């Protein structure tokens, strides 16, 4: 340690639990190694995918010599914001028609959540947010650092590897009136377990009766089922009753724009006047944080969403990604069944979205990494997008060995 440094007392921070998996994977020299930790889509060949429609939109933007690199407004690209709201709330949403929605472009899902959290910490009367147990690892830090008090509500039942619906209703029922509740719009991360439409309706009734404020995290619209409208159903249900809510959107997964950091925060208000005042305060959150958002990714999204042909091309490519993941679920389930691996593995095909919560414990995960060079988060979450027909047999063998040899 160099005691001459003013930073000599800094302690080394632990690796991020999710990103650390990739760091460990990269250090492994085994030809059989498999990374199932990363939350990014991969082709059957295990390669990152840039959508054809995204390449086409980028080409159009590059060829347009009238485009400049000037700063965007604080709230971002106007077209992008308008089209993003339409995508999540529906083109015929009364909230949009009545100008009750304010949408601001943010730095992907993380940035949208953070801007929303900072806004609530400054202007909302209840500073407690309830998040599902488990949830994406970054949620706790995002809301905590913004100044909110973070509490958990029951969500996943390890015994059934499904939803603990009773526990969820009890915990939200016991939450103080006015509390904020984080809801995954679809494809819950990390479990892949979503409420049914009927269950969503019960959640909505309970939350509205108690005056709980919904904050949706929508990271997988269209990517879960392959249908953009179906995957926004939960959000639209809450907007249809005329109540208020927040929604964070990310285009990382559904347009494959991970590194472009493209997202949006929408706040649905009771009146147009309130929405306009809310927007004025969102600007005061954003300006000292990063001034204004980047132009490139948002321009790609706006180009695709406003052109009918490109939009249709996108939905076809999006469905192909969703279908490949669904097919990987089926292949893994079939493979484990054929192998006679002990236990019920039907949760693999019941869960939805990028991730499967396998039910494997920390020891079993460590065993699979050490003996089979398979990398995943220690909670047993695997990214189905990292699998291919070629690697399913290897994963099956590893799971079989872990279940039969490790307690």
For the record, the structure tokens of 323 come out as 């279908």
* Number of Cβ atoms within 10 Å of the Cβ of 26: 11
Please confirm, yes or no, whether 136 is among the known catalytic residues.
yes
Q: What CA dihedral angle connects 202, 203, 209 and 214, to 10 degrees?
A: -150
For the record, the structure tokens of 146 come out as 């913004």
Whole-angstrom distance, CA of residue 405 vs CA of residue 326: 29
Q: Where are the alpha helices (DSSP H) in 175-307?
A: 197-210, 228-231, 233-240, 272-290, 296-306
Please confirm, yes or no, whether 334 is among the known catalytic residues.
no
- Residue with the two structure tokens 């730095």: 107
For the record, the structure tokens of 95 come out as 């909230």
Output DSSP code: residue 15.
P
**What φ, ψ does residue 267 adopt, rounded to 5°?**
-120, 120
Pair 266, 272: CB distance under 8 Å: no
Active-site choice (164, 171, 217, 231): 217
Q: What CA dihedral angle connects 371, 374, 378 and 382, to 10 degrees?
A: -150
Output DSSP code: residue 260.
G
**What φ, ψ does residue 17 adopt, rounded to 5°?**
-55, -35
Whole-angstrom distance, CA of residue 322 vs CA of residue 222: 8
Output DSSP code: residue 346.
T
Please confirm, yes or no, whether 217 is among the known catalytic residues.
yes
What one-character-per-residue DSSP string does 19-85 give? HHHHHHHHH---TT-EE----S---TTS-----HHHHHHHHHHHH-TT---PPPPTT--HHHHHHHH
Active-site choice (171, 253, 314, 345): 253
Pair 235, 271: CB distance under 8 Å: no
Whole-angstrom distance, CA of residue 328 vs CA of residue 34: 15
Whole-angstrom distance, CA of residue 287 vs CA of residue 146: 16
SS3 content of the chain, % helix, strand, coil (to 5): 50, 15, 40
Whole-angstrom distance, CA of residue 229 vs CA of residue 321: 16
Pair 257, 54: CB distance under 8 Å: yes
Q: What amino acid positions are annotated as catalytic residues?
A: 136, 217, 253
């Amino acid at each position: 340690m160099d005691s001459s440094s003013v930073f000599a007392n800094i302690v080394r921070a632990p690796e991020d639990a999710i990103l650390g998996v990739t760091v460990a994977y990269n250090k492994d020299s085994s030809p059989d190694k498999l990374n199932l930790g990363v939350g990014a889509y991969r082709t059957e060949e295990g390669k990152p995918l840039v959508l054809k429609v995204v390449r086409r939109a980028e080409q159009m933007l590059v060829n347009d010599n009238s485009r400049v690199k000037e700063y965007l407004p604080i709230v971002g690209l106007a077209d992008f914001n308008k089209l993003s709201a339409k995508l999540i709330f529906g083109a015929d949403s009364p909230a949009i028609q009545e100008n009750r929605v304010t949408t601001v472009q943010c730095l992907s899902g993380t940035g949208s959540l953070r801007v929303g959290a900072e806004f609530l910490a400054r202007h909302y009367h209840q500073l407690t947010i309830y998040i599902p147990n488990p949830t994406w690892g970054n949620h706790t830090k995002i809301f905590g650092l913004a100044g909110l008090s973070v509490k958990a509500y029951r969500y996943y039942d390890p015994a059934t590897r499904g939803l603990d619906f009773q526990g969820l209703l009890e915990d939200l029922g016991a939450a103080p009136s006015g509390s904020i509740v984080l809801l995954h719009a679809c494809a819950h991360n990390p479990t892949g377990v979503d409420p049914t439409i009927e269950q969503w309706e019960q959640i909505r009734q309970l939350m509205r009766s108690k005056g709980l404020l919904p904050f949706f995290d929508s990271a997988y619209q269209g990517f879960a089922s392959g249908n953009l409208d179906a995957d926004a159903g939960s959000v639209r249900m809450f907007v249809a009753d005329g109540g208020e809510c927040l929604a964070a959107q990310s285009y990382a997964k559904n347009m494959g724009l991970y590194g472009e950091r493209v997202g949006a925060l929408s706040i649905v208000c009771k009146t147009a006047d309130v929405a306009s005042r809310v927007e004025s305060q969102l600007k005061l959150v954003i300006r000292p944080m990063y001034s204004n958002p980047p132009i490139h990714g948002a321009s790609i999204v706006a180009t695709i969403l406003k052109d009918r042909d490109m939009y249709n091309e996108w939905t076809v490519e999006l469905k192909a990604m969703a279908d490949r993941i669904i097919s990987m679920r089926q292949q893994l389930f079939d493979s484990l069944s054929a192998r006679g691996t002990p236990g019920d593995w039907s949760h693999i095909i019941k869960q939805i979205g990028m991730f499967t919560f396998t039910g494997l414990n920390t020891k079993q995960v460590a065993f699979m990494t050490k003996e089979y060079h398979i990398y995943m988060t220690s909670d047993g979450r695997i990214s189905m997008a990292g699998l291919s027909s070629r690697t399913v047999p290897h994963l099956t063998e590893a799971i079989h060995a872990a279940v039969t040899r490790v307690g």
